[in-house]
Structure 1
Amino acid sequence: MTEDLHYRVLKHLEAHPDATQRDLAKALGISLGSTNFCVRALINQGWVKVQNFRRSDNKLAYAYLLTPQGIEAKARITARFLKRKRAEFEALKVEIAQLDAEVRGGYERKEPADPV
């Protein structure tokens, strides 16, 4: 599993601890199998714990709670994620400036040079 996916799963579970794996898969745009694999990996790492609770329709459900280690891991992953996204943003700004200059240069009317 990629670190970006771990970040997205931890972020979603922190905000929606009562989300089902099906809800999580839909929110992240990944398969239910991938979601299950990722959630199990986070549980095995000790970053997420599972608690049973009863829903109003009398069925058992689960709450996915970030452990203190999970909160620390999310903070580290978030810092790396932000650093990577800032670098991507800076690279995009350079590329946009180059493309903008190319477009302006291609459309500007150039005067013929004076013969010497």
Structure 2
Amino acid sequence: MRYRLLKHLSEQPQASQRHLSEVLGVSVGSLNYCVNALIERGWVKATNFRNSHNKLAYAYLLTPSGIEAKTRIAMRFLQRKLEEYEALEHEIAQLRSEVAAAQAPAGEAVSD
């Protein structure tokens, strides 16, 4: 979830926590906890601004260390998915061989 949250914050820094919680499929409380953890790590900086409805809101900006963290997390995710993809390719090749062997004629058919 960290990567998805960092990605959304980098793309939509003025998104509300309610909107982010809906997009990520978590409760507002859980999202708030995660955002605060990112702020404590120094990956995100929250700045105040006033939106068009004249309510106090925040813009969440990724810090340089947050951008680096997002990149590291993305690289680990990509590596894991590539390993899963290669394992699936191998499994599919094995299954195709088994199916081909099962469909090959096994000699003469027995007649009724």
Q: TM above 0.5, one fold?
A: yes
The answer as to 2:19 corresponding to 1:23 is yes
Pick from 9, 30, 49: which aligns with 1:13? 9
- Taking only the aligned residue pairs, the percentage that are identical comes to 59
Instruction: Provide the C-alpha distance between the structure 2 equivalents of 1:26 and 1:104, rounded to a whole number of angstroms.
Output: 46
The count of corresponding residues between Structure 1 and Structure 2 is 109
Instruction: Provide TM-score, normalisation by structure 1.
Output: 0.83
The answer as to 2:99 corresponding to 1:103 is yes
Matched AA of 1:19: A
Can you list the C-alpha shifts for 1:27-69, whole angstroms capped at 9, x where unaligned?
1122222211111110100000101111111111111100111
Matched AA of 1:86: L
* CA displacement at 1:100 relative to structure 2: 2.7
SS in 1 for 2:13: coil
Pick from 58, 70, 75: which aligns with 1:74? 70
Match of 1:32 in 2: 28
From the superposition, tell whether residues 108 and 25 of structure 1 become closer, same or farther in structure 2 (CA, over 3 Å): farther
Matched AA of 1:84: R
Q: Can you give the 5+ residue segments of structure 1 that lack an aligned partner in the other structure?
A: none
RMSD: 1.8
SS in 1 for 2:47: strand
Matched AA of 1:69: S
The answer as to 2:92 corresponding to 1:93 is no
Match of 1:46 in 2: 42
Instruction: Provide the C-alpha distance between the structure 1 equivalents of 2:102 and 2:33, rounded to a whole number of angstroms.
Output: 51
Instruction: Provide TM-score, normalisation by structure 2.
Output: 0.85
